[in-house]
A and B are shown apart, each in its own frame.
Chain A
Amino acid sequence: MNAIKQKDLILYSGLIILGLVAPFLFSAFKVQLTYLCVLIVLAMTWNLQGGEMGYNSFGNILFYGLGMYLTASVQVGMFFPLAEWTESGGEKTFVHTTAQYFQGIGVGLLVAAIVPTIVAGAIGYAILGLRGHYFAICTLGLGIAAGEIAGGIEIIGAGQGFTTPPFPAEIVDPEARGQFFYFLSFLVLVLAFVFVKYIYGSRFRLILNAIRDNEDKAEAMGIQTMKYKIVGWMCSAFFCGLAGGIMGGLIGYIDSTDVAFDGREMGVFMVLMAILGGKGTLWGPVIGATLFHFFKEGLWTFILGWQYVALGVLIVVIVVYFPEGLMGWLREKYPDRFGEVIDEKDRKAQVEIK
C-alpha cells in the first residue's frame, strides 16, 4: 500500500514540476498550454456529472460562458461604467492600472466561480428531474438559449461582442501575460484535480455511481438523490465558471455565440474529451483532453477550413466505435492493472451474480 502511495507521490510531484517548468521550456506554446489546462479542467468536471452521475449534459457551456461574461463584467464594472465600456468597443477610453487589473480579475474570477454554482443549484431542482436524453436535450437548449439571449443584451455588448480589459501596459515583459494566464489555469487545474481526486475516494462518488447505475434503486435505498445530483452539478459549474473566466481574459474578446456560449466547439469538446479518455475514470478525461488537444492543434493547422468536418467525423467515429474510451479499452484489456480494490470486488461480485 505504502509503495503505491510513494509511486503516486513521484508521479504527482513529477507532473507538478513538469507543469511548473513547461511554460519556460516551451515558451512559444504558453497559450496552447493554457488551453490544455482549461480543457482538462472542463473534461474532468464534465466527467464528474456526465461520467460518474450518468447525467450527460450538453449545457455545461452555460456555466463556462456565464463565468466568462461575469469575470469581464466585474473586472470592468468595478472601476468604470460597464455600458460606456462596451459602447466604446475597441477604442479604449478607459485604461486599467496594474493594480486595478489584478484586483478586477481576482474578484471577477471569484464571482465567476460562485454565481454559476448558485445558478446550477437554483435550476438544478427543475432540470435534474429530467432523465437521460431529455436532460441532454434540455441542457443543449439551455446552452444555446443562453448564447442567443446574451447576444441580445446591450450592456454586455450584444452581437458586437465584449472586449475584455487588456493586460496592463505597465508590465513590459512580453512573456508576463502568457505566464500569468498559464499559472492561473494551472492553479485551477491542480485545484480541480485535487478536488476530483478527493471525490473519487469519498462516499459521494459511490452515491453518484449509484445514481448512474439505477436511480430508482438508489432512491429506494434511502439516498436523497436529488440533493446529491444538484451538488454534483454545482461542483461542475464551479470549475466551469472559473475556466470560462480565465479563457475570457486569455482570448481578450467575448462573442456571445462564438466564444462564450460556444456549444459548437467548447460545449462538444468537453463531452468528447471525456468520452475519448473514458467516462467515469479519474485519469480518462485528463488523457482524453491531452490527446484531443494535440490532435486538434495538429489537425486544425494542416486542414484549415476542413476542421469542422474532421471534428464531426471524429465525433461520429469516437462515439460509434470507442464509446468506452481509452481507459475503458485499457481496462478491458488489462483488468488487473486497474487494481482499485473496490472495483475488483465489485467485478467479482458481478461475475458471481451472472
Chain B
Amino acid sequence: MDLLIFQAPILMVQASLDGILLGILFALIAYGMALQWGVMNIINIAQGDLVILGGYIAYTMYLVGIHPAWGVIVSPIIMYFVGWALYKLVINKVVDRDLFISILATFGIAIVFQQLMNFVFGADVVVAQSEYGTTMLFDNSVTLPNSKIFAAFISVIYAIGLVIYMRRSRLGRAIRATAQNARAAKILGVDTEKVYAATFGINAALCGVAGALISITLTLHPYVGLPYTVRSFMIVIVAGLGNLPAVALSGMGLGLFEEFADYILGTEFRIGAVFMLLVFILVYRRFKLSKKREYLK
C-alpha cells in the first residue's frame, strides 16, 4: 500500500487535486447543513437527496438542450421553493421537538424523495455533459476535468456570496439572531417562523447549486443521496457550526481521504470508507471528550 503512494507520485498528485476540488463541493453542502443545524437545531437526513434533486434539475435542463452549467442559477431558485414547501409541510412541526424525531422525519422525507426521483428520472446512473474538456498537467500525466475546476470555483463564489449576505442583509442578521437565541429574537420582533422557512430554503438552494455542479462533475443516481448527507454531517462535526474556513478545510480533507481510499482500497470500498470514517471520527471525539468527562452535545 505504501509502495503505491511513493512509487506513483503522478497518481498522488492526481488524487490530491481531485480530492481538493471535490472537497470544496462537499464543503458547500456542509455549509448548508451547518446553517440549518445551527439555526433550527435539525439534522436533515434528506440533505443528500436535496442535492441529488438539484442535480436532476440541471440534468433535465441538459436533456432539454440548455447547457447544464446554467443549472447553478436555475436549480437553487427552484430548490429554494422546494425547501420552503418542505418546511411548511413537515419541518415546522419537528423544529422544537426531540432531535431523534427530526432525524426520523427527514429520513422519511429522504425515502420519498429517492423513490419519486426513481420514478421520474429512472434508476440509471446519469451525467450531464458539460463539454468543458480537460486540462492536462505535467506532460499529460495528470488529467483534470475543467468541469471540476468550474465546480470548485462556483462553490467558492456561492459560499462567499452567502457569507456576505448573512453579514449584511436584514434577513441574514435575523437568521443569525435566531441562531443565537430564538426566544430573544422573537421578543425583538423577528418573525422566527419566516426565518426558519428562509433558512431551510437557503439550505435547499445551496444543495441545488451543489447538485447542479455534481451533475456535470460526478454522476447522479436516485439512491446516492445518503453518502452526501453523511459527508456533510462529518464535515460539520469536525469543523463545528458556523466556522466557514474550518468547514472548507475539513471538506478538502474529506475529499482527499476519499480519493486516497478509492485508490488504495478500491472503488468498491469507497462509500464504506466514508461511513467508517464517520464512525471513527465520532468515536475519536467521544474518547477525547470523555477524558474531560464530557460528551458530544
Interface residues of A (CB under 8 A from B): 56, 126-127, 129-134, 136-138, 140-142, 144-145, 148-149, 151-152, 158-159, 264, 268, 271-272, 275, 305-306, 308-309, 311-316, 319-320, 323
Contact = CB atoms under 8 A, between A and B. Distances in A.
Given A127-B283, A320-B90, A141 B268 contact: no
Given A129-B290, A313-B112, A152 B103 contact: no
Nearest to A59: B279
A308 B100 contact: no
B286 interface: yes
Which of A56, A137, A144 has most chain B Cβ within 10 Å? Answer: A137
Given A149-B269, A268-B107, 11 more contacts: A127-B283, A137-B43, A138-B283, A148-B272, A268-B111, A309-B111, A309-B115, A312-B112, A315-B104, A315-B111, A320-B94
Interface string B74-110: 0000000000000000100110011111011101111
A316 to B, nearest CB: 4
Contacts of A305: 119
Contact of B275 (A134, A148, A316): A148
A133 B103 contact: yes
B233 interface: yes
B286 A312 contact: no
B282 interface: yes
16 contacts: A126-B287, A129-B283, A131-B296, A137-B282, A138-B278, A144-B271, A145-B275, A148-B271, A151-B268, A159-B268, A264-B111, A272-B104, A309-B115, A309-B116, A316-B105, A320-B94
A137 B266 contact: no
Contacts of A136: 99-100, 103
B105 A319 contact: yes
B97 A323 contact: yes
A145 B272 contact: yes
B208 to A, nearest CB: 21
Nearest to B89: A316
Nearest to B269: A152
B230 interface: yes
Contact of B101 (A126, A129, A272, A319): A319
Contacts of B271: 144, 148
B100 A152 contact: no
Nearest to B104: A319
Contacts of B278: 137-138, 141, 145
B100 A132 contact: yes
Interface centre among B43, B266, B276, B297 (most CB of A within 10 A): B276
A156 to B, nearest CB: 14
B43 to A, nearest CB: 6
Q: 9 tightest A-B contacts by CB?
A: A315-B108, A148-B272, A312-B112, A145-B275, A312-B111, A316-B108, A308-B115, A141-B278, A133-B99
Contacts of B287: 126, 129
Nearest to A263: B226
B114 interface: yes
B153 interface: no
Given A141-B278, A313-B108, A133 B295 contact: no
